[in-house]
Chains A and B, each alone.
Chain A
């Protein structure tokens, strides 16, 4: 829907964007502040970046978080894609309502509930089968996969309904076996959704504090857990520096994802136009 944008709407939009971005911009600016007191300006400096890079604690938290995020994103994309295929392509099957419900609920479920329930689950499991003996990498990754796959499934479902089933049907009519249809048609069609789903799962994992705090064990500190333990006591200039780096990395990732999606959309559009031209 296009149309004229009234002055009121333009003002609200501008205020909204200012509200979104001013806190972040200030956060970045103060990361270059020499002063130990965050809001007191003491001149430009890279002091806190240096301190950050020298902290072994920060590096081990970054490493743990990245490992969890990569494994989580990969498994969540695989499971979320299967779930999305099942929901969109397979019509009605036994337990579809329950499956759909469990697939949507993690999107809104308060994190404290998910975290608490997974922790008691892991503890009960440990009593029952002796695993997981200690909590950390494995338990956090499993917890993250469980809620990330729901987000991936939503992305995949949107793409599957968006591209329709015509190409898959045509391939099947021409004698392609289901597996061939999957690898030659469905997966290439899903590529942009797979990439954005993977990136989404990756950032969700990197971002999670509450669930990780519940299911982690002694010694296994992810980056959000480390940040939280520091900022609970007040403002910390080194956290501003860390935030700046994280914002930069995420902005680059999102920009790449946006470009890929934009190109794919344009390619789809061109394909469609070509097809229409051939038809006529």
Chain B
């Protein structure tokens, strides 16, 4: 580094410099506020405020009006303000086994899919990390590319493969392995394929980022001391990649629980997931209060995983 302090050796100039800095800091502090306030304000208005409105509607009653729900606050003629909170929607969701079963089924599907993504994604991420300097960026690119292509079309591509008259059935029949097409599209199996297929990059990328930072000398030391590869994996690699596993799993689990497109296109009417029920409740039945209550319960289920994810995301940002 070149030394710039030479011309500041005189005390007068030093003082002027510090005054200048003070003024500069003032400007900087204002400028900082502006920079922070604009995106903050945007998120408060368009991200946070809408949730409160959903919460409000979930406590209202269905009404024949536009929009179709009652107001929580009413001004009576005598000037008295009455607030009516109706918990009926939540009671209804709790008592109706359709909703309860759908929540359980959504969680079952998202937990299983997350596990499948981890089981298949982990070795893929590990294989990329262990690739040579030329292959590595190309392989990463190959993993990221599907992530950039349309999610909807990736799901659609499996409709062609899994249909009764689809590629897989045609191939199996042509090979003489089966006589009758196997029903795959519009089953839970298809939903699993769809979720694993579309969410896999979200598992691989955080795992890769985590593994990339690992020090191979630990593995070598363990091997030198006579540890078998499996033992080394479970004692060293797996614990050290835990942050990647948690981040990747949450990136798959949270959005998959509320998934709408995949159960709709690949599950048809046969697989009930809460995202689909919510969408239908809203668009077809236009029962807004119940739809809002369904959303609030879903958010309640996911709030803890979301907070854990934020915690990890914040820690990852600080570590960089």
State whether the Cβ of B244 lies closer than 8 Å to any Cβ in chain A: no
Q: Which of A9, A177, A214 contacts B130 (CB 8 A)?
A: A9
Cβ–Cβ < 8 Å partners of B159 in chain A? 231, 234-235
* With known contacts A30-B160, A111-B255, A174-B4, A117–B216 Cβ distance under 8 A: no
Q: Which of B121, B130, B158 contacts A3 (CB 8 A)?
A: B130
B153 touches A116 (CB 8 A): no
Cβ–Cβ < 8 Å partners of B295 in chain A? 112-113, 116-117
State whether the Cβ of A158 lies closer than 8 Å to any Cβ in chain B: yes
State whether the Cβ of B112 lies closer than 8 Å to any Cβ in chain A: no
Q: Mark B100-120, 1 if CB is under 8 A from A, else 0.
A: 000000000000000000001
State whether the Cβ of B246 lies closer than 8 Å to any Cβ in chain A: no
A127 to chain B, nearest CB (A): 8
State whether the Cβ of A167 lies closer than 8 Å to any Cβ in chain B: no
Number of A residues, CB within 8 Å of B? 101
A9 touches B123 (CB 8 A): yes
Cβ–Cβ < 8 Å partners of B67 in chain A? 120, 123-124, 127
A145 touches B42 (CB 8 A): yes
CB nearest neighbor in B for A257:
B148
A39 touches B219 (CB 8 A): no
A118 touches B130 (CB 8 A): no
State whether the Cβ of B288 lies closer than 8 Å to any Cβ in chain A: yes
Cβ–Cβ < 8 Å partners of A88 in chain B? 317
Complex CA–CA separation, A95 to B196 (angstroms): 37
B258 touches A111 (CB 8 A): yes
A1 touches B214 (CB 8 A): yes
* Residues of B124-139 contacting chain A, CB below 8 A: 124, 126-133, 137, 139
* Residues of B196-218 contacting chain A, CB below 8 A: 197, 200, 211-216
B149 touches A172 (CB 8 A): no
Q: Is the interface of B mostly helix, strand, loop or mixed?
A: helix
- Most B Cβ at <10 Å: residue of A101, A102, A120: A120
Complex CA–CA separation, A176 to B44 (angstroms): 33
B310 to chain A, nearest CB (A): 5
State whether the Cβ of B43 lies closer than 8 Å to any Cβ in chain A: yes
A117 touches B261 (CB 8 A): no
Cβ–Cβ < 8 Å partners of A178 in chain B? 24, 27-28, 31
Cβ–Cβ < 8 Å partners of B161 in chain A? 23, 26
State whether the Cβ of A82 lies closer than 8 Å to any Cβ in chain B: yes
A207 touches B123 (CB 8 A): no
Complex CA–CA separation, A117 to B278 (angstroms): 12
Give how many A-B residue pairs fall within 8 Å (CB-CB).
274
Complex CA–CA separation, A82 to B31 (angstroms): 11
CB nearest neighbor in B for A236:
B156
State whether the Cβ of A138 lies closer than 8 Å to any Cβ in chain B: no
* Residues of B257-305 contacting chain A, CB below 8 A: 257-261, 264-265, 275, 278-279, 282, 288, 291-292, 295, 298-299, 302, 305
Q: Which of A9, A113, A124 contacts B258 (CB 8 A)?
A: A113
Q: Which of A2, A206, A239, A253 contacts B216 (CB 8 A)?
A: A2
Q: Mark A1-28, 1 if CB is under 8 A from B, else 0.
A: 1111100111011001101110110110
A24 touches B149 (CB 8 A): yes
State whether the Cβ of A184 lies closer than 8 Å to any Cβ in chain B: no
A175 touches B257 (CB 8 A): no
B156 touches A82 (CB 8 A): no
B50 touches A120 (CB 8 A): yes
CB nearest neighbor in B for A126:
B67
Complex CA–CA separation, A129 to B46 (angstroms): 15
Complex CA–CA separation, A262 to B141 (angstroms): 12
State whether the Cβ of B189 lies closer than 8 Å to any Cβ in chain A: no
* With known contacts A23-B157, A102-B44, A110-B275, A13–B53 Cβ distance under 8 A: no
State whether the Cβ of B142 lies closer than 8 Å to any Cβ in chain A: yes
A12 touches B120 (CB 8 A): yes
A112 touches B260 (CB 8 A): yes
CB nearest neighbor in B for A117:
B50
B20 touches A246 (CB 8 A): no
State whether the Cβ of A104 lies closer than 8 Å to any Cβ in chain B: yes
B264 touches A16 (CB 8 A): no
Cβ–Cβ < 8 Å partners of A10 in chain B? 127
Residues on B facing A (Cβ under 8 Å):
1, 4, 20, 24, 27-28, 31-32, 35-36, 38-40, 42-44, 46-51, 53-54, 57, 67, 120-121, 123-124, 126-133, 137, 139, 141-146, 148-154, 156-161, 163, 165-167, 170, 197, 200, 211-216, 219, 250-251, 254-255, 257-261, 264-265, 275, 278-279, 282, 288, 291-292, 295, 298-299, 302, 305-306, 309-310, 313-314, 317, 320
Known: A172-B24, A224-B152, A246-B150. 5 other contacts (CB 8 A): A9-B123, A110-B302, A118-B46, A157-B317, A209-B152
Give 24 A-B contacts (CB < 8 Å), ordered by A residue: A12-B127, A13-B123, A20-B142, A20-B143, A26-B157, A82-B36, A82-B38, A102-B43, A102-B48, A106-B47, A107-B309, A107-B313, A116-B54, A120-B53, A121-B46, A124-B53, A143-B46, A207-B152, A224-B150, A243-B157, A246-B149, A250-B150, A254-B145, A258-B141
